[in-house]
Amino acid sequence: MSEVKLTFLGTGTSQGIPIIGCQCAVCRSEDPHDKRFRAAAFVEYEGFQVLIDAGPDFRMQMLAKGIRHLDAILLTHKHKDHTGGLDDVRSFNYIDRKAVEIYCEPEVLKSLRNDYSYAFAEHKYPGSPEWHVHIIDEKPFRITSLENTGDLEWVHDIGYFYRQPDGSLIPSDNAVVPALPALPGPDSGFVGGVKYLNVIPIRGYHDQMPVLGFRFGKIAYITDMSSLPESELAKLQGLEHVSLNTVGYHPHHSHFSLDQALALADRIGAKHTWLTHLSHAFPSYAAFCDELRRLCAERGIRSDVQPAFDGLTVTAR
């Protein structure tokens, strides 16, 4: 198994940190660890580059990381702090000369059709993003490379086409299709000369809203959950790294509290647990690290629990 790498592109709540107008110590902190974009992650595994969520800070996150190619965007749920940057994926239409492959649940697609109706129009305005949407649920699915589709071109007053080697043009169909099921065996391989990568979704709930986390090899990314069914814990065994969300010390209707996140970290038992979707209710980064070390020691938690920060990269084999 090759190395899997996950980079936290954003580790803040829906408002980010600093929050507009806030004068608290965390929002005024000069420590770069306390500057947090909205939650998102970038995964590099088996030759694939995968983005998890594309919120309002998408453009700045791509520039900060220097990302020039995406094989897929996986959406955890429909909230705007996780989908609000999807118009800017059109840059990848120009760079990769491909439609951007988006994987999401039906309710997320319904929201995208409302928020980005122009991206689904029969006759698109020039410069609109070109997407292919794959419908997923909690069953494992696979991402495929699209190296043999041809180059995406805009034909004036008509729309997007794929230029074929013989010069002919095939219309881009702006398709919405079921995701392909994962294949047995290793996490990646080839079928019919096309490379694929298996992904394991993790079902959770954001208050009453179904949301997804995702596992790649020995790394799992979870955000925006307040509950995780017992049946999903089996998908989280044998991890090197897992991320869990928490927004504060007190119980919250749609996110884990710190106590809940620590208890879940202990149950999962990953070597390292990284807290994300953090709010300014927690102390500054250095103080929060100290607090987590103390709490984990007092409670005998078997995972090394630390706050994630923007730009943090973790790896596993």
Least confident of 134-148, 155-169, 222-236, 274-288: 155-169
CA end-to-end span of the chain: 6
Distance (Å, whole) CA 295 – CA 106: 40
Q: What order do you get walking across the sheet with 72-74 strand by strand?
A: 176-178, 131-135, 100-104, 72-74, 48-52, 40-45, 4-10, 313-316
User: CB–CB of 77/212 below 8 Å?
Assistant: yes
Closest CA to 247 of 232, 260, 228: 260
Residue 17 has pLDDT above 90, yes or no: yes
The two tokens of residue 81 are 């702090």
- The residues, ordered by sequence, that sit 6+ positions from 59 with a Cβ below 8 Å of its Cβ are 85, 88
Ranking 20-34, 156-170, 185-199, 273-287 by mean pLDDT, the lowest is: 156-170
Whether pLDDT at 158 is above 80: no
Report which residue type is found at 211.
V
7's CB contacts (< 8 A; 6+ apart) are 41, 42, 43, 44, 65, 311, 312, 313
What is the model's pTM?
Answer: 0.96
* Cα–Cα distance, 230 to 179 (Å, whole number): 25
53-80 confidence digits (pLDDT tens): 999 999 999 999 999 999 999 999 999 9
180-191 pLDDT per residue, tens: 999 999 999 999
Query: ∠ at Cα 269 (37, 296), nearest 5°?
Result: 70
pLDDT of residue 147: 64
164 has a pLDDT exceeding 90: no
pLDDT at 174 over 90: no
Q: Around Cβ 29, how many Cβ atoms within 10 Å?
A: 18
Mean pLDDT on 6-18: 98
pLDDT class of 155 with cuts at 50, 70, 90: confident
The whole-angstrom separation of Cα 283 and Cα 101 is 38
| Mean pLDDT to the nearest integer, 240-260 | 98
Q: Does position 148 have pLDDT exceeding 70, yes or no?
A: no
DSSP 45: E
* Stated length of the chain: 317
Whether the per-residue pLDDT at 25 is higher than 70: the answer is: yes
CB 196 within 8 A of CB 188: yes
pLDDT for the residue 202: 98
Query: Which of 48-62, 77-91, 149-163, 293-307 has the lowest average pLDDT?
Result: 149-163
Residue 230 pLDDT: 96
Question: Percent of the chain, pLDDT > 90?
Answer: 85
Structure tokens belonging to residue 208: 């009453």
288 near 31, Cβ under 8 Å? Answer: no
C-alpha span between 52 and 30 (Å, rounded) = 28
- pLDDT for the residue numbered 1: 62
Average pLDDT taken over every residue of the chain:
95
Q: Does 101 have pLDDT greater than 90?
A: yes
